[in-house]
Amino acid sequence: MTAPHGVPTFDRRRFLTMSGVLTAGALALAACGGTDAPKTGGGGEAKKIETLTFGITSISDYLNPLSTTSSRVHWITDPVVESLYTYDASLKSVPLLADGEPEISADGLTWTIKIKEGVTFHNGDPLTADDVVATLTFVTDPKSTSDWTAYFVGYVKGATAVDKRTVKITLTAPFGVLRSHLTNLPIVHKAFVSRTDTTMGTGPFKVDKVTQGQQVTLSRYDTYHGAKPALLGVVFQAVPDPATRMVNLREGKIQIMTDVSPESVGLLKQDDRIKVHEVAAPSDIMTYFVVKKAPFDNVKVRQALGHAMDRKGVSDIVYGGTASIAQGPIGPAVEGYDPALKIYAETPDYAKAKALLAEAGMSSLTFTLMITSDARMKNIGQVLVEGWKQAGITCTLEVLDIGPWVKNWAVGEYQMAMTGFESGFGAGRTAYTVLGSLSSLNPLNFGYKNDEVDKLLGEAWAATDEAVRAETCKKINGILAADAILMPPVHPRLIVAQRTDISSLDEKLMGVSRISLPAVRSV
């Protein structure tokens, strides 16, 4: 059929016919495709890797490690910046930019720290006490809206430079956990503390190029004060889709990927070019109730929810059985974990849940669970909703992007909230991130007040002895589990996959969420 001017017409009917034919063709091709068989062995010449490519879910527009404790930012900046103290092979805090142990006054209110000599930033400026003071001043200022503020607020009064190489930190109360915070807090060049586009530190790699939202390129800092890394550079590439990240890893386009979906672990393990690390790390599922409002002001209602929670379902279905069943908020990689604590069964106890609801004077319960929009949270949410349904509990999921989620969470505009968080970069092995908001004085407190918990939290954060702090946190964990406050269904593991043509990543350091890139070399 031709139009009067000789131009072929293309009516909707013909379009639909052609669409149908093309779709059928595409489906036939897809059906013939099948899945990529896992590769074993591998042909081709091994190529020395000088620049490593790291596949990451997203590249934040704000590349300032002092603004956030998120691992998405810190995985990128960790090779660039360093802290006063660092973790040794047994995860013990040892001096790095500090020259020796801090001098703590007898009353515990003053910490004096000497700075190591001969350390330079990537622009050649020497590291001085002023840089440490600038960093501490920035993170303790509530106006900076930094995640780090919550780690120091109420305790750190201020920091001053005694001389070029000495910093004095004054506290309002003894704060032994400060050692952990100083082991995690990066020290940034004083001119860069509030910059969001890039950062400058003293680490073995320096930032070369930032393509916002897409890629960050690092290159080796040749005058680094420590052992020189073998790699010449590292490229962090945003690959949001986990399946695409996995394909890129298998094809060698990236050498390391984080946020490996548990479903793909089996497939990756079949490939002898890939090594998968599944490590118990401070990887938390944070759950919150607004305790000052009904129905969760009633402990029996919260307990009912806890007994009807399908923890095993979440572990088996969402995490392929790799996550450990949670009793309280503190997980196995964090100080205060209590493996002996048994309050809730692995599988839901619906009879007990119904009995508790009846004791609370309720025959049913309806509430909204506010979750973040990532696939993992949606999966956990759906498993929980289905489990609760069996106990006559109706839960509606409210799925929000992280921005609105945080906004609602910060002002208590929710009934129950849940998100995932890797707290290793902020709190190390301490339970500070998990428990911090429980203090009735904490600005993020959501209505929970328990004098015993307040007292124990004070003791835990004051303790300089890790064993004492762990024992105190264990007691808090037990109280919270019984009170059904902060009730994660499971404690997930950190799953990282790497190619075997680079040296194995240090699993010990993954225990505090670190990926030891400076130690990586081509093999």
Residue with smaller CB distance to other proteins, 163 or 401: 401
What Rg value do the Cα atoms of the chain yield, rounded? 26
The CA-CA-CA angle for residues 402, 407, 412, to 5°, reads 120
CB of residue 11 to other proteins, shortest distance in Å = 9
Whole-angstrom distance, CA of residue 324 vs CA of residue 162 = 47
Nearest to 76 by CA among 224, 253, 256: 256
Evaluate whether 128 touches 134 at the Cβ level (below 8 Å).
Answer: no
Work out whether strand 85-87 and strand 93-95 pair parallel, antiparallel, or are unpaired.
Answer: antiparallel
The count of C-alpha atoms lying within 13 angstroms of the C-alpha of 497, restricted to the half-sphere facing its C-beta, is 28
- Least distance to other proteins, CB of residue 45, Å: 27
**Least distance from C-beta 21 to other proteins, angstroms?**
11
Quickly list H helices, 127-241. 129-140, 149-152, 178-184
Q: CB-wise, 389 or 455, nearer to other proteins?
A: 389
Which residues contribute to the site for other proteins (CB under 8 A)?
A: 12-13, 16-17, 19-20, 23, 27, 30-31, 33-36, 241-244, 246-247, 261, 263-264, 267, 313, 317-318, 368, 370, 373, 375, 378-379, 381-383, 385-386, 389, 396-400, 404
Residue 302, both tokens: 């919260």
Q: Which is nearer to other proteins, 174 or 262 (CB)?
A: 262
Q: Is residue 99 classed exposed, middle or buried when 0-12, 13-18 and 19+ CB atoms within 10 A define those classes?
A: middle
Query: Do 382 and 388 contact (CB within 8 A), yes or no?
Result: no
- Taking the C-alpha atoms of residue 274 and residue 276, their distance in angstroms, rounded to an integer, is 7
Is the CB of 36 or the CB of 103 nearer to other proteins? 36
- Rank residues 112 and 244 by Cβ distance to other proteins and give the closer one: 244
Q: Which CB, 317 or 406, lies closer to other proteins?
A: 317
Q: Which is nearer to other proteins, 125 or 263 (CB)?
A: 263
> Taking the complex as a whole, how short is the minimal distance between the CB of residue 232 and other proteins, in angstroms?
31
3-state secondary structure 209-258: EEECCCEEEEEECCCCCCCCCCCCEEEEEECCCHHHHHHHHHHCCCCEEC
Closer residue to other proteins, CB minimum distance, 113 or 418: 418
Q: How far is the CB of 286 from other proteins (least distance, A)?
A: 19
Give min distance, CB of 38 to other proteins, in A: 10
Q: How far is the CB of 317 from other proteins (least distance, A)?
A: 6
What minimum distance in Å lies between the beta carbon of 46 and other proteins?
Answer: 26
User: Where does residue 451 rank: exposed (0-12), middle (13-18), buried (19+ CB within 10 A)?
Assistant: exposed
